[in-house]
Amino acid sequence: FFFGLSNLMGISRLLRYLKENNAIKVYTATVESLIDGERNVIVVDAASWVYTVTEVACHNMDWLCGGQWHKQYTAIRMFLQSFVSAGAHLVFFFDTINPDAKRWQSHERGWTNALHTWMLASVVPEGDHIPQTRKALQSHCVKESKMPEFLLECGGAALLDLAKEFDVEVFETPAGIEADTAIVSYCRDNKNKVAAILAEDNDFLLMPHECTLMRMQYLNWAQVSEDEPLKCTKTINCSNVWRSLSMDDRTGLFAALVGCDYVKSFFRYARTRDSPYRVIHDEGDPERFTLATRTLRQFSHTMQDHKVVTLLASMIIDKEDRATWQK
């Protein structure tokens, strides 16, 4: 039961689907091997980065009054030092105000996590004989953090304080525009300088940046030494993902069909009795990727995305539900 409760960021089960269909190759790479002359920029999804760096450094500490801010500051300094020593130039992008379309998703995740925590407490009570079981279930079902809400702001302040010392760049996106979008735009404008993107959300696998992606949680920055260079054990070359899925410039529409941070899976709206899309029962069903790919191949690439969506809605959604869905 509980293994159906996890609520992850990005597009659920996308990485597994891509691996099973040989659309991507995951490998280990050192940062130095990704840098080539002037191509030395590492673009960082700053919000995920702050939480990840702080979690690595302070995961076993209690955030009492005053917090462990000195430990966070030291961790950020260590991170910057490890990348600069490897020859990288770091460029950070922070979010400002989330788009309206994503706010409901954040509120829903908070409520879902609270509900799952309560359910776990009821089903798996406290006790010395089952602490590992309880911990394993909670880590899988609940994206929970014991860190204070203002952690991101403090991490940003530490980064700005250290920016001049380590010659890094820090940007903040305009209100309503996510850092992900700004990162893609920056990479496209500076494609001859960007060596890789450092992020955690798997949305970046589909975004049109055509850069190498380093998964943030698989960096060894805290264990760098003379014998152990800075590396990422889950590095992904994203340039072939579009071609493998035959999506070309329609990856945004593909993400909307299968469900992402902004919308639920298109196939969950299927109401027409004879619709082939009714086989999809939840957003974790990997079959929705295959259906999305086959569906988009039926339409000419010259056809505008909104017309594709309107036509699909007329095919699979009852008339009374269509207007609600299209909003």
Residue that is written with structure tokens 């995961």 in the block: 59
pTM, 2 dp = 0.76
Q: Which residue has the higher pLDDT, 156 or 323?
A: 156
- Cβ–Cβ < 8 Å for 36, 211: no
Checking DSSP bridges between strand 212-215 and strand 231-237, what pairing results, if any?
A: antiparallel
Average the pLDDT over 256-283 and give the result.
68
75-84, 134-143, 260-269 — most confident range: 75-84
- In the predicted model, what is the mean pLDDT of residues 285-305? 80
Angle at 158 between CA 157 and CA 162, to 5 degrees: 115
Share of the chain above pLDDT 90, in %: 27
Task: Report pLDDT for 100.
Answer: 57
Give the other-Cβ count within 10 Å of 278's Cβ.
14
Which has more pLDDT, 80 or 316? 80
Domain residue limits, the chain: 14-244, 246-316
pLDDT at residue 8 in the model: 46
**pLDDT the model gives residue 5:** 32
Q: Which of 68-72, 86-90, 105-109, 220-224 has the lowest mean pLDDT?
A: 105-109
Q: What is the pLDDT, as a whole number, of residue 2?
A: 29
pLDDT > 90? residue 305: no
User: How many CB atoms are closer than 10 A to CB 16?
Assistant: 12
pLDDT for res 212: 92
CATH topology of domain 14-244: Rossmann fold (3.40.50)
pLDDT at 256: 77
Give tens-digit pLDDT for 141-171.
545 455 566 888 899 999 999 998 998 999 9
Q: What is the mean pLDDT of residues 265-286?
A: 65
* Whether 24 contacts 241, CB under 8 Å: yes
Return the percentage of the chain with pLDDT > 70, whole number. 66
Residue 275 predicted with pLDDT over 80: no
What's the mean pLDDT in 163-186? 89
pLDDT in the model for residue 4: 33
Cα–Cα nearest to 53, from 10, 90, 16, 13: 90
